[in-house]
A and B are shown apart, each in its own frame.
Chain A
């Protein structure tokens, strides 16, 4: 099994190289000149334009830029932002809040989603199941920024129960509202996924055998139905951590959370190649590790899956 983990970790190397190369090409294809963006609406001389382009390696050929980046990345040196901050520091500063936010959202999503989904699945076509279906449809169809603004206005501004924005001095309490907002769309999906999976497993052979063996209903549900039903749910939730982090940007902007989504957005706007590539590469690595984690959890959940 360790051999399997090692193999998977080795796979991250080509993923890293491939992802950065694609990013470099994409950013190169982006028209416009980042230096003119820096200059704003004031004229800037060709000399200064060239000198700045050289400073940020914007004038090197694409492949050279990429090799340079890959070489420096080994020593965690990702270059500097236009404002002179090392990109690594920027990631270190912005990543934690995003991780905490995503993990909180994930926890809310998993606890509520799996519990409600299981109940709905066990009492298929009952009143609980039907109302869960309607509610989840509603949640799925409302865009996240609407939920965000409405909840901010109601709970933050009107009722004053929570601070409406988070700001740089963040803590778990302040992140609760944004985490709920972030969880809402996913949680609707988790309910539906769990419900279907549970309903399906209820009729599976091994469950029938367990019942025939005379196991109590509670034991059958916990040990044999729920555990096996969680495989697709865990896949969904695990992969979601990645997209929650990258996709948190809307929530981050609404609640002024200085996270990595916003850092990436600002960098893309300014055309800071090295910053964008570093951040996105980082996200790619998080994805890879998460999917490894998910694969390992499969084996815990379903004894039929093993890694050699």
Chain B
């Protein structure tokens, strides 16, 4: 064939098209093969998202990496489904008389690379996490230990936490800044997991390779394929595991959903391509409990939602502020919102903690301020007006990238403006970090959405870190000496006396309302029909080791 101008052109076009197609094929073969999700073999597939940080206990602070880590590692203590703890790697954790010095003795225990879990494995990992130079996002968790600042970083850029002392290979001591009788409750959290020697390079840094493929000491270990980026994390039971969470299944696969799409995951549960989805998408909330293709779970959970009105806002300080906060709180019909907007997947709050915790009661004195009462609200608002006349508008800031936030902010401000007859509107921020930046830098000029996800199952964890003077998460800069004292007394008390003190502290909060409690978020889940053993723990997660099918 004669090569005409036109056929040459077609040739160029073909080459260009072919190179695009080739590029496609070349990459495509990478993602073939490997163990898919799928059923059979008693391997449980679980909803997950690609971890945002390396898989290092002190570096991982989000669920995408946190859920896998909790199965790959064992801490000194482990959490039972009911929120109580048992000693896991620890043989014993004993306090001194004033509960500031804790002595930990270890059981014989091994990492999956065959090396021993020693006192050094814990202390070195914690020192690493607390040292700001290592940029670990979980450093905050070390703040109760002596030798750290309020953010949990070591003092004066030290490389070690001065409150930790290794006695011998199987025991060490932890010195706390303040007495704390429930300290062992903290120690099951992922930030306190041990790390083996193999993780560190010669300069003492945890290596990149370790963050990709961690060696743990928990109920599970990574399979050969392990963490496949943007695809899944696969794990199998650790044959040498001797702790209390012995896997009853043959392994877990955390299947990642692109962009975190829970809608696609829900569809997969319906068609039996996925076994566990631990958060039901907003689109299915109305119907999931009646869906015959899945098993549905819906229980009060450990996440607490509120909004904070900082003391520094005009009209919200002193006695006037107290009256106005109470008026606003009583203007909100929590029951109506949880029913109509959240389809009963939230439970109206009656205190500042969570009903899943030991010692929780729905009868905290003073909590009638959390009940809808339009008349009383108007009265209090008028009393506040007598002190100083209200002007301006009441705005509530929220981040628009979280499901349901807009709806609740609309409803709350609408109720406030109807009941109190003032101008009130929601103020959207596009993303969570844009809102947090203004909150953290204290430049925000409105009320804002707040909430708490517990670090360990104790009511004190819902109070001290948020409302104590100068506490790390005290976004509203609340300060009340009496409250501080009650919390520190409760920290060293035990049994009923302790719950009494906590109740008193909460009553103070109900008067001052540094944050206005809204509701407890329910834990919701959808599982495939043939999955057994699903039960929520205090972290609103299933006990993965109990799942079978």
- Beyond A157-B270, A259-B258, A299-B6, whether A85 also contacts B229 by CB under 8 A is yes
* Contact assessment for A256 and B27 in the assembled complex, using a CB-CB cutoff below 8 Å: no
User: What CA separation (Å) do A265 and B258 show in the bound complex?
Assistant: 10
User: What CA separation (Å) do A253 and B138 show in the bound complex?
Assistant: 30
Q: Please, which residues of chain B bring their CB within 8 A of the CB of A149?
A: 263
* Contact assessment for B258 and A262 in the assembled complex, using a CB-CB cutoff below 8 Å: yes
* Contact assessment for A51 and B133 in the assembled complex, using a CB-CB cutoff below 8 Å: yes
User: What CA separation (Å) do A149 and B263 show in the bound complex?
Assistant: 9
- Beyond A43-B472, A44-B140, whether A31 also contacts B36 by CB under 8 A is no
Which range holds the interface residue count of chain A?
A: 35 or more
Q: Among the listed A51, A157, A263, which residue makes an inter-chain contact with B267, where contact means beta carbons less than 8 Å apart?
A: A157
Q: Which residue of A lies closest to B21 (CB)?
A: A103
Q: Among the listed A37, A167, A252, which residue makes an inter-chain contact with B255, where contact means beta carbons less than 8 Å apart?
A: A167
Q: Please, which residues of chain B bring their CB within 8 A of the CB of A45?
A: 132, 139, 149, 151-153
How many residues on the B side are at the interface (Cβ–Cβ under 8 A)? Answer: 83
* Contact assessment for A296 and B12 in the assembled complex, using a CB-CB cutoff below 8 Å: yes
Q: Please, which residues of chain A bring their CB within 8 A of the CB of B10?
A: 300
Closest Cβ of chain B to A38, distance in Å, is: 6
Q: Among the listed B8, B12, B62, B437, which residue makes an inter-chain contact with A31, where contact means beta carbons less than 8 Å apart?
A: B437
User: What CA separation (Å) do A31 and B54 show in the bound complex?
Assistant: 26
For residue A62, CB closer than 8 A to chain B, the reply is no
- Interface residues, chain A, with chain B CB atoms under 8 Å away: 1-2, 5, 30-34, 36-45, 47-48, 51-52, 55, 82-85, 89-90, 92-97, 99-100, 103, 149, 152-153, 156-157, 160, 163-165, 167-171, 249, 252-259, 262-263, 265-266, 269-271, 289, 292-293, 296-297, 299-300, 303, 306
Q: Which residue of A lies closest to B32 (CB)?
A: A169
* Contact assessment for B27 and A96 in the assembled complex, using a CB-CB cutoff below 8 Å: yes
- Beyond A90-B230, A96-B28, whether A48 also contacts B12 by CB under 8 A is no
Q: Among the listed B17, B21, B135, B271, which residue makes an inter-chain contact with A51, where contact means beta carbons less than 8 Å apart?
A: B135
* Contact assessment for A96 and B23 in the assembled complex, using a CB-CB cutoff below 8 Å: yes
For residue B529, CB closer than 8 A to chain A, the reply is no
Closest Cβ of chain A to B527, distance in Å, is: 16
Q: Among the listed A38, A97, A306, which residue makes an inter-chain contact with B52, where contact means beta carbons less than 8 Å apart?
A: A38
8 tightest A-B CB contacts, nearest first: A32-B434, A37-B433, A96-B27, A256-B264, A43-B472, A45-B151, A168-B231, A262-B258
Closest Cβ of chain A to B27, distance in Å, is: 4
- Interface residues, chain B, with chain A CB atoms under 8 Å away: 5-6, 8-10, 12-13, 16-17, 20-21, 23-28, 30-32, 34, 36-37, 50-54, 61-62, 132-133, 135-140, 149-153, 208, 211-212, 228-232, 255-261, 263-265, 267-268, 270-271, 273, 293, 401, 429-437, 440, 451-453, 472-473
User: What CA separation (Å) do A296 and B5 show in the bound complex?
Assistant: 11
Residue among A39, A48, A149, A289 with the highest chain B CB neighbour number at 10 A: A48
Q: Which residue of B lies closest to A168 (CB)?
A: B231
* Contact assessment for B433 and A33 in the assembled complex, using a CB-CB cutoff below 8 Å: yes
Q: Among the listed A52, A253, A293, which residue makes an inter-chain contact with B135, where contact means beta carbons less than 8 Å apart?
A: A52
User: What CA separation (Å) do A249 and B258 show in the bound complex?
Assistant: 10
Pairs across A and B, CB under 8 Å, 24 listed:
A33-B440, A37-B431, A37-B432, A43-B150, A43-B151, A44-B151, A45-B152, A47-B132, A48-B137, A96-B26, A153-B267, A156-B271, A163-B271, A164-B270, A165-B268, A168-B255, A249-B259, A253-B261, A254-B263, A254-B264, A256-B265, A259-B258, A299-B9, A300-B9
- Beyond A52-B135, A100-B28, whether A297 also contacts B433 by CB under 8 A is no
* Contact assessment for A256 and B257 in the assembled complex, using a CB-CB cutoff below 8 Å: yes
Q: Which residue of A lies closest to B29 (CB)?
A: A96
User: What CA separation (Å) do A94 and B53 show in the bound complex?
Assistant: 19
User: What CA separation (Å) do A82 and B65 show in the bound complex?
Assistant: 13
* Contact assessment for A41 and B451 in the assembled complex, using a CB-CB cutoff below 8 Å: yes
- Beyond A96-B23, A256-B261, whether A169 also contacts B34 by CB under 8 A is yes
User: What CA separation (Å) do A89 and B432 show in the bound complex?
Assistant: 28
User: What CA separation (Å) do A266 and B231 show in the bound complex?
Assistant: 14
Q: Please, which residues of chain A bring their CB within 8 A of the CB of B293?
A: 157
* Contact assessment for B62 and A40 in the assembled complex, using a CB-CB cutoff below 8 Å: yes
Q: Please, which residues of chain A bring their CB within 8 A of the CB of B232?
A: 168
* Contact assessment for A296 and B261 in the assembled complex, using a CB-CB cutoff below 8 Å: no
Q: Please, which residues of chain A bring their CB within 8 A of the CB of B32?
A: 169, 171
Closest Cβ of chain B to A52, distance in Å, is: 5
